[in-house]
Structures are given as C-alpha cells and as structure tokens.
Structure 1
Amino acid sequence: MYKLLAQINKIVLPSFTKQGLDISKAKKWQMAIIGYRYYVTKRALD
C-alpha cells in the first residue's frame, strides 16, 4: 500500500529538494508535505 502511495506522491506532489528549498525557511504547508512524503517513503522501504 505504501509503495503505491509513494509512487503517487512522486507524480503529484512537488519535490522541494529539486527546487532548492531551504528547510529552515519553509512554510508550514511545505513542512507538512515534506513530513508526509518522509512518512510514506519510510513506510514503503520497510
């Protein structure tokens, strides 16, 4: 299930690392997306 979510996230959600976003200057909604992507990716790798 998480592998499918990770693939969907890769297509739909923006990649902030490719945009060169500084984590310390990220807005709350950007931090929420980063946290969500981290959680799904971590679960997909298990």
Structure 2
Amino acid sequence: MRKGLFKILVKINNAVLPSLIKKDPSKLSTLQKAILGYRYWVLTKALD
C-alpha cells in the first residue's frame, strides 16, 4: 500500500515538477533544492 502510494507520487512529480537534471546543484536556489530533495526522497521510498 505505502509503496504504491509513493509510485503514484513519483508519476505526479514527473508530470508536474520541473526537471533539474542539467543544473549544477551548487547553483540552485533554496526552493529548487527543496524540490530536488523532495523528488529524491519520494523516489527512494518508491524503490524500497
């Protein structure tokens, strides 16, 4: 149940949130760092 929820969140994140793949992490704003951290957290929970 919980893993399925995180898989759905990953799909929503990919559709809604911006991709930060080509940007240098040291040059991101605070909001962009928070988005990147949130996307990473959801992805790792979906893969566990």
**TM-score normalized by the length of structure 1:** 0.91
Unaligned runs of 5+ in 2: none
RMSD: 0.5
Deviations along 1:1-46, whole A, 9 cap, x unmatched? 00000000000001110xx211011100000000000000000001
1:25 is aligned with what amino acid? K
Q: 2:31 aligns with which of 23, 29, 32?
A: 29
Identity among equivalent pairs (%)? 50
Q: Give the paired residue count.
A: 44
Partner of residue 44, structure 1: 46
Alignment partners' CA distance in 2, 1:45 and 1:12: 20
Structure 1 segments (4+ residues) deviating >3 Å: none
Partner of residue 7, structure 2: 3
Q: Which has the larger radius of gyration?
A: 2
Alignment partners' CA distance in 2, 1:7 and 1:43: 13
